[in-house]
Structure 1
């Protein structure tokens, strides 16, 4: 492992966690988005991550939830069909919020690793100057 591999690995982790946070933000913003039953529901996105060649991680892609979503009875909604149903995304807020906490903590851990690696490299440079 090279001298700066720790920074590269932590940096890749920060990038993946930031993307995960962005995806979760979109999902949470649309958790209550409904559509007519004749249309597809908002499709929640889920991040697919893999190990990167040479170390670290990278986003491999995005998976989407079922476009059929779930039918919700909401007869007062102007988009409701004749039976009073609308189509809602197939996701729940508690799952999205749990993932949000995990993504935030992962991002924070990556930042801490980066800070500690920078401090170590700075200390090593100071030894060379003395």
Structure 2
């Protein structure tokens, strides 16, 4: 492993975790999005990551949740059909919030690895200057 591999690997992790955080924020902000029954429901985004041969990680793809959503009875809603039904996203908020904590912790760990690597490289440069 080369001298800067730790920074490169941590950088790929930062990028993946940032994409994951962005997707979760998008999901959470649309948790209460209601559509009419003749339209698809809001589809949650799910980030799928894959490992790289060099030790890093990439966002492989973003999959979408169920467009069917959940039918809810809301006869007073302006988008309700003749039966009083609307379509809501099929998302579990506890899963979204748990994933948010995991993504935040992963991002924080990657930041710490980056900071530690930078400090180590800086110390090594200072040792070289002292001689």
1:62 aligned counterpart, secondary structure: strand
Taking structure 2 as the reference length, the TM-score comes to 0.96
Between 42-51 and 85-94, report the one with greater CA deviation.
85-94
The Cα offsets for residues 94-121 of structure 1, whole Å up to 9 and x where unpaired, read as 2111111111111001000000000011
Taking structure 1 as the reference length, the TM-score comes to 0.97
Cα distance in 1 for partners of 2:33, 2:7 equals 40
How far off is 1:51 after superposition? 0.7
2:71 aligned counterpart, secondary structure: strand
Between 16-25 and 50-59, report the one with greater CA deviation.
50-59
Paired positions, count: 130
Question: Corresponding residue for 1:119?
Answer: 119
Alpha-carbon RMSD: 0.8
How far off is 1:8 after superposition? 0.4
Q: Which runs of 5+ in 1 are unaligned?
A: none
**Does 2:60 match 1:65?**
no
Q: Which runs of 5+ in 2 are unaligned?
A: none
Question: Corresponding residue for 1:77?
Answer: 77
Question: Corresponding residue for 1:50?
Answer: 50
Question: Corresponding residue for 1:6?
Answer: 6
**Does 2:59 match 1:30?**
no
Runs of 4+ in structure 1 over 6 Å off: none
The Cα offsets for residues 78-103 of structure 1, whole Å up to 9 and x where unpaired, read as 10111111011110222111111111
Cα distance in 2 for partners of 1:53, 1:24 equals 27
